Chains A and B, each alone.
Chain A
Amino acid sequence: MDNDRYAYAVGRIRAMETSLLDRGKIERMVEASGAEEALKVLGESEYAEYIASLASVYDYETMLDQVLHRVYRELRRFAPDPELVGLFACRYDYHNLKVLFKAYKMGEERDELLVRDVGNIPLTVLQRAVHDDDYRSLPRAMRDAAKQIAEALRLEANPQLVDLLLDRAMFTEMVEISQQFDSPFLHDYLAFQIDLLNVKTYLRVKRANLSREFLEQALLPLGRLDLTKLVQLADPPEVLADRLLSSSYASFMEEAIQSFQKTDTLTRFEKLVDDFLLEHVKKAKYVAFGLEPLAAFILAKENEVKLIRIIMVGKINRLPVEEIKERLRDVYV
């Protein structure tokens, strides 16, 4: 009975889903002869209104920012539990905080990377916090991590540490928010994401020949796999694929690890991970009353934005069609 309050929101989401780009349109964008042409194909969808105000094709990032901004604003308006939107929005706060730390403490000014008006915390609050070194206004997990980073940055400039501590705080906060929802869909999604990020960290640490201590520090807690127990750093990567045969990740892990060994890059691995996560997200299509379709819509839209970015970067850099296709992810619809 309780989930009936989602009846309105899910109805609205289902109608909004009709404007998501389908495979056909994505493929036509990829096949387009150039960046201009690709944008023209995109203009046949609801992106038309954004494209009209673009100064040039290189400006597509502002369009993608606007799209994200609108999705979050709309969903915040009609979601029965705005905390659900906050759960996904907090990722942008952490992202912004990373950029700000690197800007203020390490002199890497990358203002264009900041995402405005999407996260839970206004950018000015984050800016003031980092600028004044006063983190009291931030949520708990973020505050603790920020203090620790500020402390460490006084001794040495270590961008890796910024990412590490903030990622850890971010997943802690996300898992914490997700606890108030009785949704295995949500809990699984976060656990999958953490586990797969950890597998990626393991492969990276291995490739860079770093120590076991470093790996232990870099792994995120709160996942379901304990990688340090599962494999040794000295083991060849196939061992990890073997050990994961009975896990939820068996379907693609072997291919993912093989491609990593063959190419020594994580491009294919990341694509397979994204597709696996999206496959999980697709389960929300069969939920009529519940938060799942809302969460799925946010993730589907973010996936779409990512696809457009991959295509536009490819088109602007004149990559061959095949190469862009290799990087493309699945679509939600």
Chain B
Amino acid sequence: MEIGLGLGILGAAVATLLAGIGSAIGIGIAGQSSAGVISEDPDKFGLTIVLTALPGTQGIYGLIMGFLILFRTGIMGGEILALTTPQGLGLLFAALPIGFVGWYSAIYQGKAAAASIQMIAKRPEEFGKAMIYPVMVETYAVFALLMSIMIFMFLPF
């Protein structure tokens, strides 16, 4: 196997890996706060589940990027490309924005979501407002995914 192909596969792994770790931690934090609220007030399950799921999107973005890269290399069916080292590096670099931004934004989104969940415990009628703060973190994960896809699309091969 050429080193270029290896680097491309590494890119797919990195995108899924880092963003996935972030989402797991983020949902973990939000989930704990939800469990705390639900143990006192089970009726709030419906509201808390939405907020708890929010930090999960980064992991999905990472997975999408990972698939895109794998398809491009041809190892998932089709003809395996003989990538040069610079081409493989290009794929790896395309993975980095969503990998790193996904990782950190998911953790901080999880914290914001947990705080909103705590707010919902006291003021369920303000669910809409509580939702906005963690969603704002999402912006930067979307930007990162956008940049990852741009790099991926404009790679010259």
Query: What are the interface flags for A1-43 relative to B under an 8 Å C-beta threshold, 1 for contact and 0 otherwise?
Result: 0001001111111111110000000000000000000000000
Q: Is the CB of B122 within 8 A of A11?
A: no
- Determine the chain A residues whose CB is within 8 A of the CB of B119 once the complex forms: 14
Partner of B36, one of A4, A12, A18: A12
What is the distance, in angstroms, from A78's C-beta to the closest C-beta of chain B? 8
Q: Within 8 Å of chain B (Cβ to Cβ): is A249?
A: no
Q: Within 8 Å of chain B (Cβ to Cβ): is A289?
A: yes
Q: Is the CB of A13 within 8 A of B114?
A: no
Q: How far is the CA of A78 from the CA of B40 in the complex (A)?
A: 12
Q: Is the CB of A14 within 8 A of B34?
A: no
Known pairs A289-B111, A289-B114; A11 contacts B29 (CB<8 A): no
Q: Is the CB of A14 within 8 A of B122?
A: yes
Q: Is the CB of B37 within 8 A of A4?
A: no
Q: Within 8 Å of chain B (Cβ to Cβ): is A313?
A: no
- Determine the chain A residues whose CB is within 8 A of the CB of B121 once the complex forms: 11, 14-15, 17-18
Q: Is the CB of A15 within 8 A of B37?
A: yes
Known pairs A4-B29, A14-B121, A15-B121; A288 contacts B36 (CB<8 A): no
Known pairs A16-B40, A288-B118; A11 contacts B111 (CB<8 A): no
Number of chain A interface residues as a range: 10 to 19
What is the distance, in angstroms, from A217's C-beta to the closest C-beta of chain B? 46
- Determine the chain B residues whose CB is within 8 A of the CB of A78 once the complex forms: 36
Closest residue of chain B to A10 (Cβ to Cβ) is: B118
Partner of A8, one of B36, B41, B122: B36
Q: How far is the CA of A288 from the CA of B119 in the complex (A)?
A: 9
- Determine the chain B residues whose CB is within 8 A of the CB of A289 once the complex forms: 111, 114
Q: How far is the CA of A248 from the CA of B37 in the complex (A)?
A: 35
Query: What are the interface flags for B23-52 relative to A under an 8 Å C-beta threshold, 1 for contact and 0 otherwise?
Result: 000000110111111011100100000000
- Determine the chain B residues whose CB is within 8 A of the CB of A9 once the complex forms: 36
Closest residue of chain A to B115 (Cβ to Cβ) is: A288
Q: Within 8 Å of chain A (Cβ to Cβ): is B117?
A: yes
Q: Is the CB of B41 within 8 A of A7?
A: no
Partner of A14, one of B35, B37, B111: B37
Partner of B32, one of A11, A15, A17: A11
Q: How far is the CA of A16 from the CA of B32 in the complex (A)?
A: 16
Q: How far is the CA of A9 from the CA of B121 in the complex (A)?
A: 13
Closest residue of chain A to B41 (Cβ to Cβ) is: A15
What is the distance, in angstroms, from B25's C-beta to the closest C-beta of chain A? 9
Q: How far is the CA of A15 from the CA of B39 in the complex (A)?
A: 9
- Determine the chain A residues whose CB is within 8 A of the CB of B44 once the complex forms: 15
Q: Is the CB of B40 within 8 A of A12?
A: yes
Known pairs A4-B29, A288-B118; A10 contacts B36 (CB<8 A): yes
Q: Is the CB of A8 within 8 A of B118?
A: no
Q: How far is the CA of A288 from the CA of B36 in the complex (A)?
A: 13
Q: Is the CB of A7 within 8 A of B114?
A: yes
What is the distance, in angstroms, from A300's C-beta to the closest C-beta of chain B? 13
What is the distance, in angstroms, from A284's C-beta to the closest C-beta of chain B? 12
What is the distance, in angstroms, from A56's C-beta to the closest C-beta of chain B? 31
Known pairs A14-B122, A15-B121, A17-B122; A8 contacts B115 (CB<8 A): no
In B103-120, the 8 Å CB interface with A consists of 111, 114-115, 117-119
- Determine the chain B residues whose CB is within 8 A of the CB of A11 once the complex forms: 32-37, 114, 117-118, 121
Closest residue of chain B to A5 (Cβ to Cβ) is: B32
Q: Is the CB of B39 within 8 A of A12?
A: yes
In A149-169, the 8 Å CB interface with B consists of none
Query: What are the interface flags for A251-294 relative to B under an 8 Å C-beta threshold, 1 for contact and 0 otherwise?
Result: 00000000000000000000000000000000000001100000
Partner of B114, one of A15, A17, A288: A288
Q: How far is the CA of A9 from the CA of B37 in the complex (A)?
A: 9
Closest residue of chain A to B114 (Cβ to Cβ) is: A7
Q: How far is the CA of A13 from the CA of B41 in the complex (A)?
A: 11
Known pairs A7-B29, A7-B114, A288-B114; A13 contacts B122 (CB<8 A): no
What is the distance, in angstroms, from A2's C-beta to the closest C-beta of chain B? 12
Q: How far is the CA of A78 from the CA of B38 in the complex (A)?
A: 14
Give the 6 A-B residue pairs with the shortest CB-CB distance, closest first: A11-B36, A15-B40, A12-B36, A11-B33, A7-B32, A14-B121
A-B contact pairs, 6 of them (CB 8 A): A8-B35, A10-B33, A12-B40, A14-B36, A17-B121, A289-B111
List chain A positions with a Cβ less than 8 A from chain B: 4, 7-18, 78, 288-289
